[in-house]
Amino acid sequence: MDLVVKINIVPEKCRGCRACETACAWWDKPPFNPRRAGIHIIKDEEAGSEYPLLNMECQEKFCGKQAPGAGSLLEPACVTACLFEALQVEKEEVRDAG
């Protein structure tokens, strides 16, 4: 069995704080650059709101970036950093193809 960690986005809960981008980019090699994060905040000018958009790879397997002390939680750093529950993790066990 493989464990698939899926991230559900709840766009209406997003406050545009960009803590998720920062937390993700913190794990990358210097120089620090939130533009290289696996998540980006999109501004909807018309609606006056912001919402997160995740890279496809982030939905395919657990990225391994997690907050210090998170242990076996398997919660990506972007999810832990979001204090508004706009990112929620869902774990699912799937059978190996072979």
Give the binding site for ligand SF4 (CB under 6 A). Answer: 14-20, 24, 37-39, 41, 52, 54-55, 58, 63, 65, 76-78, 81-82, 84, 86-87
Nearest distance, CB of residue 10 and ligand SF4, angstroms: 9
In the complex with ligand SF4, the residue whose CB is nearer, 58 or 98, is 58
Nearest distance, CB of residue 42 and ligand SF4, angstroms: 10
- Cα of first residue to Cα of last residue in the chain, in angstroms, is 11
Q: Distance (Å, rounded) from C-alpha 63 to C-alpha 70?
A: 14
Q: What are the residues whose beta carbons fall under 8 Å from the beta carbon of 46, sequence distance 6 or more?
A: none
